[in-house]
Structure formats: C-alpha cells, structure tokens
Chains A and B, each alone.
Chain A
Amino acid sequence: MHHPPNVALLLAALLLIALPASPPPALADTASDGPATFEGTLRYVENGPGAGTDGIATSLFVGGVGAPVAAGRLQSVFSLLSNTGALGDNPTMASVSELMNSSVPVDLAGLLPVSAHYEARLAFTLEQGQDGAFALRSGEIDWRVSNSAEFSADGHALTDRFSGSGGEPLDPAQDAITLTFDLDADPATYTLTVDVSHELRTSGESTWSAAGGAMVMHLEANDGVHIMDGQAMGQPIPPEVVKSAPDQRGVYYTHTGPLSELRYTETWRNLLDAQVLADYEIVDACRGYIDAPAADDKVTLPACYHCNLELDLQGSTVPEVWVDDVTWKVPEFDGKSPHYDPEDAQGDSVKAWFDGPGPQKNDAFGPLEIELAFDEAASRCEPPDPQRVRVFFGRDSYNNPDGSVPNWFYYWMDTAAAQGHRGKVIYDSACADYGYYNGFADASQADVIYVGRIFGAGNPSANPVTGKVTEGIDLFASTVLHEWTHLETYHSWWGAAGYQMQQDAAGNWGPDPLDRDFDLVPDRREAAYQLSPRTQDTLGLGFRDCEYPAYLQEHTWPNGSLDEIDWADPGKQSGS
C-alpha cells in the first residue's frame, strides 16, 4: 500500500512519540553497584499428622485414613474456584485451608495415634531481575523433623520413632522464592511465593508385631536409607533395602498482602489437620540494632563498694531470626575486662559487668563504645554502628578504690579542680561546712587544707563578696582555691613563727599582738585589702576579714571549665 509522503512522515512521528512511552520494567531503586536485593527469612512449622511420614504405623494411618480425607478436601478446591467471593481479596493460606477443611469436618490430629513435628528455617537473598520481580539468588535451609506412633490392639503392636535434622544451601536452579509487587493496586501489594525442597535424611526405627509376635516386621532408617527385616513364624526375613535414597521434603507457601505486611505470621490447619505456622520477614537489608542502652545514654555505677560498671544490653535484628546470632563486645573499663551473662555474650539480651570497686582514674569515665557483631550471618548482615554511652560515678557513693572518701572527692581530686594540690587536700567527713584550714590552731597542719561535706553545706553556694554562684565540681574547685588561699596567706602573713595567740591573766586567749582586731589579718596588711585594723568584719557583711582574700581568690575560679570531665551523677554532664 502506498501512502502519501506526508502520511508516512506523520506515522514515523507517532512511532517516535509512542515508543519511548512504553512501560519499562518496574525496577526498584537500584544501587549503582548491582541489582536491588532483599533479605528474607521464613520459619515454617508443621505439627501433626503428615509433618513426618517415616515408619510403618505412620504410613498406614496417614496413608490409609488421612489420604482419603485430604482427597475429599482437595475436591472442594473446585467448588472454591467457582466461589472465590467467599475468600475476599488476597486470601491467605489460613483462609483457603479453613474453607477446604470445612468440607470434610474431621480432626485427623485427634483421631490418628501419630505425632510429628517438622520445622524449617530459611534465610535467603532475593535479587531483582529484568522483569522487575525478585527471585532467589542464594540462601540456606535448616530443618528438623521427628515423628512417632504407637498403636496396639488384638495382638498387633506398631511403633515408630524417627527423627532427623540438617541444613543445606538453596539452589536457585531447583528452588524458587519469588517476590513480586503490584504498585498499581491500592494499596500497593506484594506476593511472596516459596517453593523449595530438601533431602529428608532421617534415622530411626519402626516395628510391627502381629499375632502376638508370631510375625515381626522391623524397619530401620539411617540418613534416609531404609532397610527392612523381620521374622515370620520363627523364620527370619532377610534385610532388604526398601528405600535407597532419602525422600524430598518440600516447603510451599504463598502470601499476598499490602507492603506493610512484609513481616507476616499466619497459622492454619493443613489438609491432614497438622497445625502449620509460617512466619516470615522480608527486608531490604539485614541489620543489627543496639536498642539499649540508647545512644549517649547515661550509665551510672551502682553504689555498692564491690560494684562497678554494669550494663543491660538489649539488641535486635532485622530480620528478627538473626537475633541469637549476635555477640556483644564491651571494651575494657579502667583496664578491666567485662564479664557477661550469658558468658558467650550472645543474644538479644546480655548483661555485662566489671569487678569492683570503681576505676582508679577519673578519665576512665565518660564515653564508652559498645559493639554488636553478627557471627554466622556476618557475610549477609550489617552490624550496627558502635553505640556510645556515657559512664558516670554516683557522686555521693563510696565505691572508689579508696573507699573512705566519697566519689566526688576521689575523682575530682584527679582533675584540675585539685589545682595541683593532690596529697595536701584532706577530706574530713566530720566537717559539715565546705572546708577549713587548721594552720592557725595547729602548726603541724600548716601545709594541708581540709574539704568537708560540701554538698551538705549547701549546693549551689554564693560568694558573699561577689555573689558568684558555684555548684558541683566548680564548688569543689572554689573550695580548694578558697582554703588554699588561707594556707598561702597564713604563710605569707605570719611566716615561720606562725600566729602567736596571747593569754591574759584571766585565762582568755587573745590575738597575736600584730593583729589587734583579732581577725587573723596582720594589721600592717589590712590596708592592702582596704580593710580596717580596728574591725573583725570591715565590710559588715557577716564574715571575718581573714575570709575576704579567700573570697576574692575563689571568685577567680572559671566556672564551667571542667564541665567536660565532670562525670559525677548528679553533675555537670549527667543532665540532673
């Protein structure tokens, strides 16, 4: 057919418009380093008839009674197909099974003298193909099965005892796990289909004794290979291999649901009335999480002397199946290694602790990084970033190595708050005030200062001269500075001779002759401080003149300068 040139051009233009608009595969957000992937786990459990099928009795009962029932139920599938309205949208395995089983209302699990359990755990990686669907790339299956039966009547006795377990990789050529999405649906849905199988290598034995033992059949299984022997009327039946290779056991499951159900659990009765559980989780990546302590959490040492750092560690994994595959690692604390409960430090809930008492040094406190690592799943799962917590000491506890002084005194003396006077600052638990200097009364104590129960004396505290308010570690540092000023002024003012108190005829102690107003400041030095040699309290604010230089000096302490190394709780960084 001949078209005019303008028509041909028009058709060509239409093709150019239409072709680019044809629908592309529904690709997910693919990373630059390869196709998009999902990680998944599935736990599939059967409990009841048919879950395990080894043995003479099990075969007889499940095959002889269970099979007709199952067949009858299967027939209901045909009526089901013509009556889909009964199932609604996205029917589950449970809803389908319930409808089918209602057609033959018999409880095989209660009827048959067999018990069986099968459990499979699958972990798999799905990879997106060109068609947009995700298919099995790799994975493993771990399974275990057991079944038993016991029946006796009229001289017959049947017993089965079989079990097995194993694990093997999934084979994308033989096994199928697919995940497809329907993003046009409202809401968007996905469909997961699992169809995998594995060799059922079981071991065990089965015995059938008939006619009071006149005839005995014995079946023995090793790794799925079955050998049968026995005797009839005293004549042995030679062993014979009745099954030379293990059976294949399949796991089939499918579910369609909204995207919010990428983690899903359902349970139902199958055709043989075994209770089935399917529990799966599909995630775009396998990850571990440290849930507790939280990031930057405050962890305070318990108060008892033999206590030290204790941590209650809580973690989780996505998918959850790997939660027992994680191991915690807490670093050394002040050179000590942690203990764990459980000892292997594995699992989602672990307690870690260190032998007491508390650390030797203040710098042991502060940030501590806790790690959580995957073991078997290390190749497929991403561990969480190390979690930083902040370790504090109880301010008023005594679980420091000294044990006789409160923690605040012990650890703050290990900081710049001590201003280089470590060894010359003594804690006096009997002193309810901030501190004191005893050099005036006892020359043997002229080179030390005392710090009292500063938090009992009042925290925060105001400088009576300048009004400057200090609290916490700043109050401690100010106190050290205040008392040390007394020590220095004592030596500066009174020299080697010290303060010479005088006693009058009546026995009253009076001031040194060089200190007429008895304010402990030499008269000749008072003018330098704009103080009067005639009054004990020149400023008239409620304290002796000897305190004035100490107040001025303590005012110079830079508040907040040690906030970053104050790990007391309560304290500057503890948030309380």
Chain B
Amino acid sequence: MKKGLLILVIVAAVLLLAAGGYWLWQRARRPDLATALAEARRAAQTPTPEASLSATPAPTPTPGLTLLERQLTGDALPLQYSAAVALGERDDLAADERARLLCAALQAEVDEPSTDAPRLRDAYLEAHEMYRLRLTRSLGQLGPDGLPAVQAAADEADGLAREHLLVALAYLGQNEVLPEVRALVTDSDDPAVRMDAARALGLLGDRDAIAALTAALDDGHCVPASDSLGEYTICPVRDQAAGALDALGLAVTRHADGAITLEATP
C-alpha cells in the first residue's frame, strides 16, 4: 500500500513538473505588452527618412593617382589644372605613372580643346592654352625617371601634342630635341608652343638658338589683355624670346609701341 502511494505521488510529481515546465515555456514565448505594442506600432508606422545633411564636410585626403586621374579626366578645367600642377610636383608618386597621365591629358586637350572654359584669373592666355602650358611644364618637372615615358609619348604623337612634348623633353634636358625646339620658336602655328619653346631654350642656355630667338622678337602674335592692375597689350612670344636672350647674355630693349629689339653688342 505504502509503495503504491509512493508511486502515485511520484507520477503526480512528474506530471506537475511537466505541466509547470510547459507553462513556463509558454510564458517565455508570450511577448510582454510593451514589446507587443512596440512591434505593432513599428509595423504601422512609415519609417522616417534620416537627416541627410552633415554640418561639417570630411577632411580632404591627399589625393592619390586615382583621384588625380579622375580630376584630370574630368570636365572642370580648374580641377584639371590643379591636378596637372600636382602631378608635376608629387615626387611621392611614380614618375612614369605621372608621365602617362599627363601625356594622356595633353593628347586629350589637343584633341578636344577646352575652348569654352573661362580664363584663369588675370591671365592673358586662353584657359586651354594655359592648361597645355601647365601640362608641358609638369612633364618637364618629372626628372629622369619620367623621361622614357615622355620620350615614348613624343615618338608616338604628332602635330600640336608632339610639339608640346618636344618642349617638355627640352625642359627634361634632352638635348637631342633642341634642333626641333629651335624650329618651333618660329615655325609652330601655336603661339603657346612658340613662347614655351623660346623660354625652354633660354633656360637651357642654348646659344645655337639665338638666331631663332632673335627672329622671334618680330613674332606678330600680340593680344590685348587685362588683369587686376589694368588693361595692357602683350606679345607673348616676343616676351619669352626677350627673356631667353637675356638669359643667354644678350640685352634687349623694349619700346613703348611694344617692339623689342636686340641691343647692339659692344
């Protein structure tokens, strides 16, 4: 009898434990009111768009080649110009890569000149002329590591692009190109090439260029211009030829009518 009662109690205990466990499990599954309301409300509400404006822009990182290339191949001339300056100065970037970008930009500018771009501040040249000069000058800053790439580009190029690349090679000290550069001073159809060729020859101290530079003092390209300080007329090829001749030790005289003459050698 005792044994039977004990079994009965144990069975009852097991059943009670099982029922309690089931109830606890159900209770755990049931959401509390706050959660249920929150979920219902969330389902009924349209999400609010996040504020999209940030007060302070993130600092601009130093641009790498990828960003500079993006600027250079964009359509905003001030940014292209800025990238061209940076590529000439950024010795931390591979010279051949910089040469590749600058040469490509020069070819693109020759193919499709930025004639619609506004002049840069206080400039007497058109924006596209200044940009080509800037690209040439930056190529000339690359140093020996950039020379092979510029040389290769010059070998492949023709027309205006080749003329600029020849001047760039002169800036890089490539004396082999000097005969062609001397010819450019008087023969190029592009005044920006003529003036830059004259300047490069003066910087290189190329005395063989004196004849070409003297001839350039009669260059007929003169433009009315204005800058912060007023209006004036400038003959840029004559001006650069005068500077080159001065660098070569030959004195020049400027006249009020814009003419520049070589002073007689004592």
Contacts and interface: CB of A to CB of B under 8 A. Distances in A.
Q: Do A and B associate with each other?
A: yes
A18 B14 CA distance: 12
Contacts of A540: 133, 195-196, 199, 236, 240, 243
Contacts of A29: 32-35
Given A7-B9, A262-B40, A284-B37, 4 more contacts: A29-B33, A440-B229, A469-B82, A540-B236
Contacts of A260: 40, 43-44
Nearest to A574: B53
A457 B127 CA distance: 12
Contacts of A28: 32-34, 37
Chain B, interface residues (CB within 8 Å), range: 35 or more
Interface string A548-576: 00100000000010011000000011010
A430 interface: no
Nearest to B86: A467
A466 B85 contact: yes
A151 interface: no
B20, B33, B84, B85 — most chain A CB neighbours (10 Å): B33
Interface stretch (A244-252, A332-340, A368-376, A514-522): A514-522
- 9 closest A-B pairs by CB: A467-B85, A29-B34, A510-B256, A542-B125, A259-B40, A535-B243, A28-B33, A462-B78, A534-B246
B120 A483 contact: no
Given A7-B9, A540-B195, A508 B123 contact: no
A6 interface: yes
Contacts of A458: 78, 117-121
Given A437-B229, A461-B121, A183 B79 contact: no
Contacts of A184: 30
A390 B56 CA distance: 13
Interface in B61-119: 76-79, 81-86, 117-119
A316 to B, nearest CB: 12
B177 interface: no
Interface in A280-339: 284, 294-296, 298
B4 to A, nearest CB: 12
Contacts of B134: 464, 467, 541
B257 A506 contact: yes
A295 B120 contact: no
Contacts of A259: 36-37, 39-40
B35, B55, B86 — most chain A CB neighbours (10 Å): B55
Contacts of B27: 23
Contact of A483 (B2, B30, B228): B228
Nearest to A432: B118
A427 B121 CA distance: 17
Contact of B6 (A6, A36, A461): A6
Contact of B256 (A296, A434, A509, A520): A509
14 contacts: A6-B6, A183-B33, A259-B39, A260-B40, A296-B53, A436-B230, A458-B121, A461-B78, A464-B123, A469-B79, A510-B255, A510-B256, A535-B239, A572-B57
Interface string A96-139: 00000000000000000000000000000000000000000000
A468 interface: yes
A437 B56 contact: no
Contacts of B55: 296, 564, 573
A475 to B, nearest CB: 10
Contacts of A575: 52-53
Contacts of A11: 9
B17 A544 contact: no
B234 interface: yes
B239 A536 contact: yes
Interface string A451-490: 0000001101111101111000000000000110010000
A460 B53 contact: no
Nearest to A503: B256
Interface of B: 2, 5-6, 9-10, 12-13, 16-17, 20, 23-24, 27, 30-37, 39-41, 43-44, 51-53, 55-57, 76-79, 81-86, 117-125, 129-130, 133-134, 137, 195-196, 199, 226-230, 232, 234, 236, 239-240, 242-243, 246-247, 252, 254-257
Interface string A498-532: 00001110101111000011101000000000001
A534 B31 CA distance: 90
Interface of A: 3-4, 6-7, 10-11, 14, 17-18, 21, 23, 26-29, 36, 181, 183-184, 188, 258-260, 262-263, 284, 294-296, 298, 390, 433-438, 440-441, 457-458, 460-464, 466-469, 482-483, 486, 502-504, 506, 508-511, 516-518, 520, 532, 534-538, 540-544, 546-547, 550, 560, 563-564, 572-573, 575
Given A18-B20, A21-B20, A28-B33, A537 B121 contact: no
B34 A436 contact: no
B9, B118, B119, B228 — most chain A CB neighbours (10 Å): B228
B2 A4 contact: yes
Contacts of B83: 467
Given A23-B23, A23-B27, A542-B130, A550 B228 contact: yes
Contacts of A466: 85
A547 B122 contact: yes
Given A14-B16, A546-B229, A457 B121 contact: yes
A534 B250 CA distance: 11
B56 A563 contact: yes
A13 to B, nearest CB: 8
B256 A506 contact: yes
B81 A462 contact: yes
Nearest to A470: B78
